[in-house]
Amino acid sequence: MTPRQHCLACLPSSVFEAALWVCAEHDPQFSPSQLQHEMDSLQRQIGAALPMMPRQELAQPLLRQLSSMGFQQDDWNPLKPQAALLHQIVQRRRGQPLGLALLTLELARRLDIPLEGVNFPGHFLLRVPGADHLLDPCGGRRLYTKDCRDLLARQFGPDMQLKSEHLLRASSVAMLQRLSRNLRHLHQVNDDLLASLKDADRVVELGQATTSDHLARAALYQSLECPQAERFDLEHALLLSDDPIQRLRLTERISHLPSHGAFH
């Protein structure tokens, strides 16, 4: 099977393994089995350092232990794709919040520590099921309702309101789709359009792609001078859009593309 096929086959049972196959898709020299030794070593080190506490209280100590070992949010500006690729995060001990969360979730699974992902806007978070607070994967800080509101305001401005859907548990598919969107953006801003297209394809293949997802892939096809593929995504974006102004603009943009069947 191809890395993409392996990736999709892993869902929903193991989002960590699926994310490793994403790494293999972008780095042909990497195989997920190559990370086994590093993960086993991390599990042993962290397991030995955790305090004697009930399992449901060990999530924050796990995160703090990872932080003490150097796993931190990547502050390189502009960010490189390495900040989202798991094998690079393990090697560099730097990454985006989602990548650090995926690593933490896998270690929590191995150590039988209850933990789940939360698809919070702009900064992926973690939670012990049933807890009254969230956990920042970058260091383990506890976030209560006011902290979540402050985090939203810092990232999106004071008009962004905290909603119940911001605090829902993230499924494996949702996490992989978010990872793919992150990589799509990072590869694009670093001028690797073909790599970005791989990520854009994966976003759509995972299902429930949004108008923005189709527009993002259409922009890549436009840059790569593939008008028929661009038309396909623009037409799907038009079908999904409920914004009248956006629909008019999409209709006009489609009208300027070669018709179906035209040679290019």
Report the DSSP pairing between strands 125-127 and 116-118. antiparallel
What per-residue confidence (pLDDT) applies to 28? 94
Domain C-terminal end among 167, 187, 209: 167
For 165, which DSSP code? G
Do residue 155 and residue 241 come from a single domain? no
What residues make up the domain containing 221?
173-255
Report the DSSP pairing between strands 134-135 and 142-143. antiparallel
What per-residue confidence (pLDDT) applies to 262? 44
| C-alpha span between 139 and 227 (Å, rounded) | 45
Q: Amino acid letter at 211? A: T
Q: For residues 101 and 125, is the Cβ–Cβ distance under 8 A?
A: yes
What per-residue confidence (pLDDT) applies to 209? 97
Do residue 154 and residue 183 come from a single domain? no
Do residue 184 and residue 240 come from a single domain? yes
Do residue 156 and residue 228 come from a single domain? no
Residue labelled with tokens 């990454």: 95
Do residue 11 and residue 120 come from a single domain? yes
Do residue 196 and residue 163 come from a single domain? no
Question: CATH number, domain at 97?
Answer: 3.10.620
Six-digit token string for 242: 């409920």
- Does residue 262 form part of some domain? no
Do residue 154 and residue 181 come from a single domain? no
What per-residue confidence (pLDDT) applies to 261? 53
- Does residue 23 form part of some domain? yes
- Does residue 260 form part of some domain? no
Do residue 143 and residue 193 come from a single domain? no
Q: Look at the chain and count its residues.
A: 264
SS3 118: strand
| C-alpha span between 139 and 76 (Å, rounded) | 17
Do residue 106 and residue 224 come from a single domain? no
Summarised one tens digit per residue, pLDDT across range 34-69 is: 999 999 999 999 999 999 999 999 999 999 999 999
Describe the strand order of the beta sheet including 125-127 as a list of residue ranges: 116-118, 125-127, 134-135, 142-143
Do residue 140 and residue 9 come from a single domain? yes
Do residue 73 and residue 130 come from a single domain? yes
| C-alpha span between 21 and 93 (Å, rounded) | 19
- Does residue 203 form part of some domain? yes
Give me the residues of the chain with pLDDT under 70, please.
260-264
- Does residue 232 form part of some domain? yes
- Does residue 264 form part of some domain? no
Q: Dihedral through CA 224, CA 214, CA 123, CA 187, nearest 10?
A: -10
Question: CATH number, domain at 179?
Answer: 1.25.40
The number of folded domains in the chain is 2
- Does residue 263 form part of some domain? no
- Strands of the chain, DSSP E: 72-73, 94-95, 116-118, 125-127, 134-135, 142-143
What per-residue confidence (pLDDT) applies to 75? 87
Do residue 218 and residue 235 come from a single domain? yes
Q: pTM of the entire structure?
A: 0.95
